[in-house]
């Protein structure tokens, strides 16, 4: 494990210490957990954006999409426990 020095305002340091004590951990442990959670959230968001960009590029290349009413009906059936056939992508309105 490597060492990194960070400077934090006294008020934040006091908050972290107080919260760590209440949680039964150290300030160091709480800080590591917070950094890890933030890194996980950022990685997840970046992955989401990358997937959205790839899907949009695919749409631009093919002009095909699934109509919202069809996708909504499919998702609602899945949520109800059914196994419906996924809707097929079709040329989007105005892109035939």
Judge if 50 and 17 occupy the same domain: yes
Judge if 7 and 54 occupy the same domain: yes
| Separation of alpha carbons 64 and 93, rounded Å | 9
Judge if 31 and 77 occupy the same domain: no
Q: What percent of the chain has pLDDT over 70?
A: 97
Judge if 37 and 24 occupy the same domain: yes
Judge if 40 and 7 occupy the same domain: yes
Domain ranges, residue 94: 63-96
Residue 1: pLDDT above 90? no
Judge if 67 and 49 occupy the same domain: no
Angle between the 27-62 and 10-23 helix axes, to the nearest 10 degrees? 100
Residue 96: pLDDT above 60? no
Distances (CA, A) of 57 to 3, 14, 64: 42, 48, 11
Answer yes or no: pTM beyond 0.95. no
Judge if 33 and 73 occupy the same domain: no
In the prediction, which pLDDT does 95 show? 60
Across 12-22, average pLDDT: 98
């Amino acid at each position: 494990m490597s060492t990194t020095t960070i400077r934090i305002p006294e008020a934040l340091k006091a908050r972290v210490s107080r919260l760590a004590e209440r949680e039964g951990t150290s300030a160091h442990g709480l800080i590591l957990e917070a950094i890890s959670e933030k890194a996980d959230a950022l990685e997840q968001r970046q992955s989401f954006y990358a997937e959205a960009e790839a899907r949009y590029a695919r749409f631009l290349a093919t002009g095909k999409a699934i109509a919202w009413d069809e996708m909504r009906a499919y998702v609602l059936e899945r949520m109800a426990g059914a196994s419906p056939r996924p809707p097929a992508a079709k040329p989007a309105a105005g892109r035939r």
